[in-house]
Chain A
């Protein structure tokens, strides 16, 4: 966001100065590379992803480096986060026997959440998850994981049956239902999993841009300042909404991952 805003601040494009409202475009999601090595262009989203990885690593290392029975300081916050993932995400889906998935699910949840939060952190102002490649690669990982577990635990044919035969359905309707079940479990699941996160983050970023740019565009030293102030107030409100959506999307992504893993472990009953 700040690169766009900086560009607009430099252009000093205001209402009544003869230029129209510079609405945000998809170009605001593409960045000039910070540096290039041959064909490899290192840009801001990559930097943010590396930063978020570092934050997750350092935070949990600091929290559980020397775990105390009575937690103090950063261990308190770390345990709060881990327990949230365990009790709200893992246990309802996988039960106690799924506790070995806690590190994976916690890492996934906090990685996505921190990347989402970057959308409202000053200076950074960009959720890397609003670039489709990042949710897509996370989803590819989850897809390979649950397909792999399903094939290992239930056998290729058993898992195929689990994915495409709804239990309790009469035999004569199965030829019509099984293709839908298979299609939606194998292809639409990963598609919606990635698109949900990506589209929410993209829309949120555009919404923030619209009001941030309007605040600057409407800024004039006359009574029209009211419009700019109103725009700024909406920007603050939208920021609050985005904070909620960022948490919710990270949560939903992790819940669905846990659900898919649990479906791979045992057939639906």
Chain B
């Protein structure tokens, strides 16, 4: 049993180093927060305005959800891939 384990252990020592994940930065959390706030305010605001004029009040919450969804896409490009 131990003889069979040994090569595995030895190989474990020589495993190729995985590329290190970039260290988490202090500002990332705040960046994400500010993007999500931006998406909500912008598309929620547009939805609220159109809803205000047309009388379709559901556009306000729909706009906010769309804003959050879009800001998550934006975060994927701006924060996690940079």
User: A residues bordering B, Cβ < 8 Å?
Assistant: 92-93, 166-169, 173, 176-177, 179-181, 183-184, 187-189, 192, 196, 251-252, 255-256, 259, 268-269
Contact = CB atoms under 8 A, between A and B. Distances in A.
Contacts of A92: 25-26
Interface stretch (B3-11, B49-57, B70-78): B70-78
Contacts of A167: 77, 82
Contacts of A188: 34, 37-38, 41
A166 B71 CA distance: 11
Interface of B: 25-27, 30, 33-35, 37-39, 41-43, 67, 70-71, 73-74, 77-78, 81-82
Contact of B42 (A173, A180, A259): A180
A259 B28 CA distance: 10
Given A188-B37, A251-B26, 17 more contacts: A166-B78, A167-B82, A180-B39, A180-B42, A180-B74, A183-B41, A184-B35, A184-B39, A184-B71, A188-B38, A192-B30, A192-B33, A192-B34, A192-B37, A255-B27, A268-B78, A269-B82
A269 B42 CA distance: 25
A184 B34 contact: yes
Nearest to A178: B74
Nearest to A259: B27
Nearest to B77: A166
Contacts of B33: 192
Q: Which 10 A-B pairs have the closest CB atoms?
A: A184-B38, A166-B77, A183-B38, A259-B27, A169-B77, A188-B34, A184-B34, A180-B39, A180-B38, A255-B26
B30 A176 contact: no
A133 to B, nearest CB: 22
Contacts of B30: 192, 196, 252, 256
Given A189-B34, A192-B30, A268-B82, A177 B42 contact: no
A169 to B, nearest CB: 5
B75 to A, nearest CB: 9
Contacts of B42: 179-180, 183
